[in-house]
Structure 1
Amino acid sequence: MKTKNFVVVTISIAVVLGLLIYWREYSTRDQVSLFYVLLWQIGIWIPWFFGFKLIKQVVGKTSKTKFGIPLLAGVCIIWVGLHYGWFFFISSNFSPYLGLPGSRFGVYRYFFIFWTLIDIGLLWFIIDKLKSRKGEELPPPLLLELTRGNNKYFCEPSQIHWLAAENYYTKLSTTEGVFVMRKPLKSFHNLLPQDMFRRIHRSTIVNVNYVSELERGNSQNLKVVMKDGTRRKVSRNFVKEITLFFKDRTY
């Protein structure tokens, strides 16, 4: 949600509230100007611009710390308290209803109900919009630039079957064929999606979506059989992990 759009929302709320209050207090219309009622309400609600900026920053950090939710809740409570103080200050000094019968500190009791409901509604609206937008702002798909001869190929992780270390190089088996890149296997392990790629050996990483079988030999050695028929040995250090991983994925 953009700041400009939120300012429009805030001013709209202030105008609608001003009109409702002016309409509700029909007995004082000859003593109160609609213009000043609207100006008073805009003065009360326009500080929400700063609240929006503050909450926007906090929402952006909630995924980076385990204290994100308590932090956001604390900031919201503090902000509502600050806005309440601002509401009381503006109304006590500049409300067009100051000194009129039935009002106290320039407000009527039902003003506080409006204020509370709208503040809660704005908090929910902002957090919902910011979080939904955050979910939409996903990073672009990862592309690997592979070369064969003078040709360049752009490969997505989902197109990679397996990767194997060969000295200072890494061999990649993909839907476009086999490629060799002068990068260590470790660099790919840190880059590729962990839910799609699993290390089965110190020198081998496989795409679990291309695994068709776990094959046990007579000596209890485990091999991963890929859908293209390739067999890759599973290191003893990874046998239990890989076995449990596929057990959890199957019905």
Structure 2
Amino acid sequence: MKTKNFIGLILAIAVILGVLIYWREYATRDQVTLHHVLLWQFAIWVPWIIGFKVLDKIIKSTTESKFGTLLLFGTSLTLICLHFGWFFKFSSTYSPYLGLEGSKFGVYRYFFIFWTLVDIGLVWFIIDKLKTSGEAESKPPLLLELTRGSNKYFCEPSQIYLLASENYYTKLFTTKGIFVMRKPLKSFLDILPQNMFRKIHRSTIINVNYVAELSRGGDHSLEVIMKDGTRRRVSRTFIKEITLFFKDRTY
């Protein structure tokens, strides 16, 4: 689910709720304008765009975590509480219904039903869509089309054992030889299966199934030695992650 699609959804929610509230409060139409109600609703629901970004990051970072579900639930509950806080704060100052008969803090009692149901539904919708999108994106392509001269080769992800960035190109070391593609390294990290490929340096991705050894240096450095003898240095940023990853895979 893309951010621009979610922004469109938020705007749609704001318009629908704004029109419904304006229509229901027919007795105050001589004191309240529709455009004021719509602007108020836009301001109320726009913070959920930040909530979307937060949930997206949480889902991506806790895909394989044992406490991922608990963290996701806690984050969702926190976002709903924060949204209610924003709702009260903004409405008590800028609501078009502020000070009108029957309203308190610029809202009517039935507003709480709207906000609670929409907030819960929105959280469920975001999590469902983000998880579905994440699962779809994590599926590797069946084949990668590689070229050498005028010849085309089709390679499965499992046949790639190393990817290295070289300026605007990515060099792929495969069981069929070395190939060069005019694509950034990050684009491969996005499509290759995470349980098989790991980034060890800003310019290097390895297939963990082709790793023969982890070699420690005297200066606390770490090198990955592939089964064909290729040695690649692990940047300090990834040393802990790579060490723990292989520790969890070994018996």
The TM-score, its normalising length taken from structure 2, stands at 0.58
1:140 corresponds in structure 2 to 141
Q: Distance in 1 between matches of 2:41 and 2:68?
A: 33
**Per-residue deviation at 1:67?**
1.1
Q: Secondary structure at the match of 1:113?
A: helix
Residue 190 in structure 1 maps to residue 209 in structure 2: yes
Shift in Å, 1:191: 5.0
In structure 2, relative to structure 1, the CA distance for the partners of 1:68 and 1:108 (3 Å cut) is same
Aligned to 1:51: 51
Runs of at least 4 residues of structure 1 off by over 4 A? 151-159
What stretches of structure 2 of length at least 5 have no aligned partner? 160-174, 178-205, 212-251
Amino acid at match of 1:64: E
TM-fit CA distance, 1:141: 3.8
5+ long unaligned stretches in structure 1: 146-150, 160-178, 182-186, 193-251
2:242 equivalent in structure 1: none
1:116 matched residue in structure 2? 116
Residue type at the aligned position of 1:190: N
Pairing of 1:182-221 with structure 2 (within 5 A): 190=209
Cα RMSD over matched residues? 2.9
* CA distance in structure 1 between the aligned counterparts of 2:112 and 2:69, rounded to whole angstroms: 27
The TM-score, its normalising length taken from structure 1, stands at: 0.58
The amino acid across from 1:65 in the alignment is S
- Aligned positions of 1:67-146 closer than 5 A: 67-137=67-137, 138-141=139-142
Q: Which amino acid aligns with 1:61?
A: S
Task: State the distance in 2 between where 1:5 and 1:155 align.
Answer: 34
Match of 1:64, SS state, is coil
Residue identity in the other structure for 2:38: L
CA distance in 2, matches of 1:49, 1:59: 15
Pair 189,22 (structure 1): closer, same or farther in 2 beyond 3 Å: closer
| 1:109 aligned counterpart, secondary structure | coil
Q: How many residues align?
A: 162
Which amino acid counterpart does residue 83 of structure 2 have in structure 1?
A: H
Name the CA distance, whole Å, in 1 between partners of 2:153 and 2:96. 70
Cα shift at 1:60: 0.8
Q: How far 1:39 moved relative to its partner?
A: 0.6
Q: Return the alpha-carbon distance in structure 1 between the equivalents of residues 152 and 73 of structure 2.
A: 50
Letter in 2 for 1:42: F
- Aligned counterpart, 1:3: 3
Report the Cα distance in structure 2 between the residues aligned to 1:37 and 1:24, rounded to whole angstroms: 12
Per-residue deviation, residues 93-131 of structure 1 (Å, max 9, x unmatched)? 110111111111100001010000000111111111111
SS at match of 1:119: helix
In 1, Cα distance between equivalents of 2:176 and 2:99: 83
**Cα distance in structure 2, aligned partners of 1:83 and 1:32:** 24
Letter of the 1:13 counterpart:
I
The aligned residue for residue 213 of structure 1 is none
Q: For residue 30 of structure 2, give the secondary structure of its aligned residue in structure 1.
A: coil
Aligned to 1:29: 29
The one-letter amino acid of 1:117's match is: L
Q: Summarize the Cα distance change of 1:152–1:11 in structure 2 as closer, same or farther, 3 Å threshold.
A: closer
Is the 2:143–2:154 Cα contact (8 Å) retained in structure 1?
no
Partner of 2:162: none
- How many Å apart are 1:64 and its aligned residue? 3.1
Distance 1:33 1:152, change over 3 A: closer
Give the Cα separation in 2 of the matches to 1:46 and 1:74.
21
1:189/1:54 Cα in 2 relative to 1: closer, same or farther (>3 Å)? closer
Partners of 2:17 and 2:152 in 1: CA distance = 62
Q: Residue 140 of structure 2 contacts residue 157 of structure 2 at CA under 8 Å; is this kept in 1?
A: no
Given that residues 55 and 72 in structure 2 are in contact (C-alpha distance below 8 angstroms), is that contact kept between their aligned partners in structure 1?
yes
Greater Rg, structure 1 or structure 2? Answer: 1
